[in-house]
Structure 1
Amino acid sequence: MKLEIDLSTLRAAVSRMGPPLPVDLDLTNSLSPPVTGTPSPTEAPPVFEPGGEEITKGEFDEIEKTGNLLAYKGQQILLYMPGHPQNRFEEAQVDALNGNRVHVAFCQKLEEMKQSGRFERYIATQDQHGEFRIYSREKPSYEVKVPLRVCMLCLKKLNYKGYSNPGNKAVFANFSFREFFQYYESFFSEHPATEPRTHEEKGYTRDWPELSRAYRASKDYTCESCSVTLQGHRHLLHTHHLNGVRDDNSDHNLRALCADCHSKQPGHDHMVVTHDDRHTIAHLRREQKCADTADWQEVFDLADPGLNGLLHHLKTLKAPLPEVGLDVQDERKAIVANLELAWPERRVGVAIGPDDANQARVQGWRVFSVSQCLDSPQKLKRQID
């Protein structure tokens, strides 16, 4: 007799869990979760040397756009022209506004260059410190480092922090390359490697792991911002210092925050939260009924930060509020995809990952990429009205 076994419940549980997490054995403390700021195991060596490398036309042609961002060999990069006319070379050393701009997206300028087949001498880099080496075209052997500014066309292409809204000049004035990379980490499976440091080197006290664990336990491993409970995923709950002083461990200065909420706090551009981890948190929020959104601010608070520009477009267009982090199930009730934004009544969604988009389409959803939505937010609005 043939034995029929229904594994749909198991498949659903596995799909929610995501890929297995690597575990570092610590014989002194068998339940030690990763601490705040621990580099993600998915981080990879940079595709270019620190400070960047001049790229060939062939390499320029291989640069792709991922969510309208610049991508090379699966990693996020920046592009800029190091060569300046002599007068601008001198002026750039006095005021960064006089220097060439740094491209962070496939803006109109780069699109025109790629389509026309023209090529300039560009440096590709993953350096996020904000200083870039430049030289005079008349004296290319003489290089200096200066704090170049971001390209405004790129900010407009991404609608970064609502830059396209009239009068939003502060986005350009306060732009941080390090924060920018953090915003879009979900779009890439690999990230530039960071130098490992001890707790003390990061500014924490020696007993921080134990203090953090005790504080999170006192809050029943529940995020004090979004209210998601992470008993089964304790490594995704962090302890946050409200005043930013990492050796001030007084109770009134601590908050238990899930990795997603923690990464959105000011000054936390050193954190890497993987796409899978954000999906896990989004799934648990919905399962625990703490993902409801009554207004746009709640949508911004819960959504992946890489969708910030799109959300600003939708808010300006007065679009219907989306659901955040919707799981898509197949006929066996197994979770096959996660949509970052979704309008279930219209069966329309937005996905960062192409696999999520394809799987959701199989289930009858109309799914758009972030690039499509940023390029034509009005088209998305027509689909969901």
Structure 2
Amino acid sequence: MKLSVSFKNLKAAVSVMGPEEKGLFNLAYQETSIEKLDLELAIGKDVELKDVDVDSGLLSYKGRNVSLYIKANGTSARFHIADCKTLQSMRANGRFERYVVTNDTSGEFVVSSSYGETKAKLKVCQNCLRQLNYKGCNTGTPISSVVQQFDMAEFFATYSSFFPHLPSRKAETAETGYTEDWAKVSSHYRVEKNFECEQCNVNLRSNRSLLHVHHISGVKSNNKASNLKALCIDCHSKQPMHSHMALSHSERQLINQLRQAQGLLGDLSGWQEIFDYSDPGIHGVLHACKQFGTTLPEVAFYIADSFGDITAKVELAWPKHKFGIAISSNDIEDANSEGWHVVTANDFLADYRSQAGNLRW
């Protein structure tokens, strides 16, 4: 089949962007394929419990964020998203049911029934939610509402910084709804806004791919200026109906690195600002800290070695206590080697009452 490809809109967008130097562009065919493991996880893969990685407190299979359930339990099964006390008990007691892991975000699971295998909507395990203090379910938010409104795509995106392999969009959901001239419209709008996020004010002229143009109403065919807003990918992912947007740890760290360099993180004066600028994967920690009245942490704090070189980047820090929360194991190790006490979000939440209590002054 002959393919006809037009780059008219792309060239127009490049013209509007006004690059300092135009590069060369060559179109070459390159065959790509979805890894076999991703195909298996999309439909559910039988595994042994010992093969599921729980080091981060979340459930991971070969670098992919997954949920886990027991197919034989039928429609009464609960699916797990964290290494909760239920799974810990199963491992301790040597239970060897037929576990299934999946990264499907539809909320439907293949279970066994008297009629054979069927798809069913299952409820999330409440112990898992409490393990993560997800949306503050331990510290103020009624857990019943968290269970009722739980969305798998939102959950995976919330913790995307913890996993090297991000979930990808399915082909059937890939239709964009954008107008044909969207590339030109969005490029022109970003130029007009000087490549600056209209929410957090970070300037992304040096990292233009990290700036998106958001449709405020959600109607992607409405390109009126009053319906557009230039947003960095972090702010964009936190907009209503955009909780499915998964960002890597490096992307979130880079955004905060730029904010830090531009003086945007130096005077965060309240909890809401801390939530707005921090990685959503550590919001469970923030809910606990807010509930227990800790002093405000610093977001995206850099720890230097004796030579003044940055050795570790932590998501949250209480410099007075030399205490912090980090996602990267390398950052944790490097920070602790400099005399800090930096832990994972999971370790903090395992004993958050005493941990938070020590940070009140």
The two structures share one fold, judged by TM-score above 0.5: yes
Give 1:119 deviation, angstroms.
Answer: 2.1
What is the aligned partner in structure 2 of residue 319 from structure 1? 294
What is the aligned partner in structure 2 of residue 115 from structure 1? 92
Distance 1:48 1:335, change over 3 A: farther
Give 1:190 deviation, angstroms.
Answer: 1.0
Give 1:268 deviation, angstroms.
Answer: 1.3
Task: Find the partner of 2:168 among 193, 201, 209.
Answer: 193
Give 1:228 deviation, angstroms.
Answer: 1.1
CA deviations on 1:192-213 (whole Å, 9 max, x unpaired) are 33346898x2111111122111
- The yes-or-no answer on 1:225 pairing with 2:190 is no
1:87-98 matches, within 5 Å, as 92=75
CA distance in 2, matches of 1:331, 1:165: 39
Asked if 2 retains the 8 angstrom alpha-carbon contact of 1:373 and 1:379, the reply is no
What is the aligned partner in structure 2 of residue 342 from structure 1? 317
Task: Find the partner of 1:284 among 243, 254, 258.
Answer: 258
Task: Find the partner of 1:268 among 242, 248, 252.
Answer: 242
1:90-239 matches, within 5 Å, as 92=75, 99-136=76-113, 138=114, 142-166=116-140, 168=142, 169-195=144-170, 201-239=175-213
Identical counterparts, % of pairs: 39
Query: SS of the counterpart of 1:320?
Result: coil
Q: Which amino acid aligns with 1:344?
A: P
Distance 1:234 1:197, change over 3 A: farther
Q: Which amino acid aligns with 2:226?
A: H
CA distance in 2, matches of 1:324, 1:333: 20
CA distance in 2, matches of 1:167, 1:279: 28
CA deviations on 1:224-277 (whole Å, 9 max, x unpaired) are 111111111111111111111111111111111111111111211342211111
Task: Find the partner of 1:253 among 202, 222, 227.
Answer: 227
Task: Find the partner of 1:51 among 39, 43, 54.
Answer: 43
What is the aligned partner in structure 2 of residue 328 from structure 1? 303
What is the aligned partner in structure 2 of residue 299 from structure 1? 274
Give 1:47 deviation, angstroms.
Answer: 7.4
Q: Which amino acid aligns with 2:137?
A: Y
Distance 1:198 1:74, change over 3 A: closer
CA distance in 1, matches of 2:315, 2:162: 12
CA distance in 2, matches of 1:66, 1:278: 21
Query: SS of the counterpart of 1:372?
Result: helix
Give 1:111 deviation, angstroms.
Answer: 0.6
Q: Which amino acid aligns with 2:50?
A: D
CA distance in 2, matches of 1:112, 1:296: 36
Query: SS of the counterpart of 1:64?
Result: coil
CA distance in 1, matches of 2:355, 2:202: 30
CA deviations on 1:349-371 (whole Å, 9 max, x unpaired) are 11000011112222222111111
1:8-87 matches, within 5 Å, as 28=11, 46=38, 48-55=40-47, 59-84=48-73
Query: SS of the counterpart of 2:124?
Result: coil
Q: Which amino acid aligns with 2:78?
A: R
Answer 1 or 2: higher relative contact order, Cα 8 Å, separation at least 6.
Answer: 1
What is the aligned partner in structure 2 of residue 12 from structure 1? none
CA distance in 1, matches of 2:173, 2:69: 34
Asked if 1 retains the 8 angstrom alpha-carbon contact of 2:292 and 2:357, the reply is no
What is the aligned partner in structure 2 of residue 16 from structure 1? none
What is the aligned partner in structure 1 of residue 4 from structure 2? none
TM-score computed with the length of structure 2 as normaliser: 0.86
Give 1:66 deviation, angstroms.
Answer: 4.0
Give 1:30 deviation, angstroms.
Answer: 5.7
Residue-pair matches, total: 333
Asked if 2 retains the 8 angstrom alpha-carbon contact of 1:47 and 1:75, the reply is no
Query: SS of the counterpart of 1:194?
Result: coil
CA deviations on 1:62-105 (whole Å, 9 max, x unpaired) are 21214311012122111011223xxxx5xx4xxxxxx3111011
Distance 1:166 1:303, change over 3 A: closer
CA distance in 2, matches of 1:322, 1:127: 35
Give 1:177 deviation, angstroms.
Answer: 0.5
CA distance in 1, matches of 2:233, 2:172: 20
TM-score computed with the length of structure 1 as normaliser: 0.80
Give 1:383 deviation, angstroms.
Answer: 4.2
Q: Which amino acid aligns with 1:190?
A: H
Which stretches of structure 1, 4 residues or more, deviate above 4 A after TM superposition?
A: 29-33, 196-199
Q: CA RMSD in A?
A: 2.4
Asked if 2 retains the 8 angstrom alpha-carbon contact of 1:48 and 1:126, the reply is no
Q: Which amino acid aligns with 1:320?
A: T
Asked if 2 retains the 8 angstrom alpha-carbon contact of 1:48 and 1:124, the reply is no
Task: Find the partner of 1:309 among 284, 302, 305.
Answer: 284
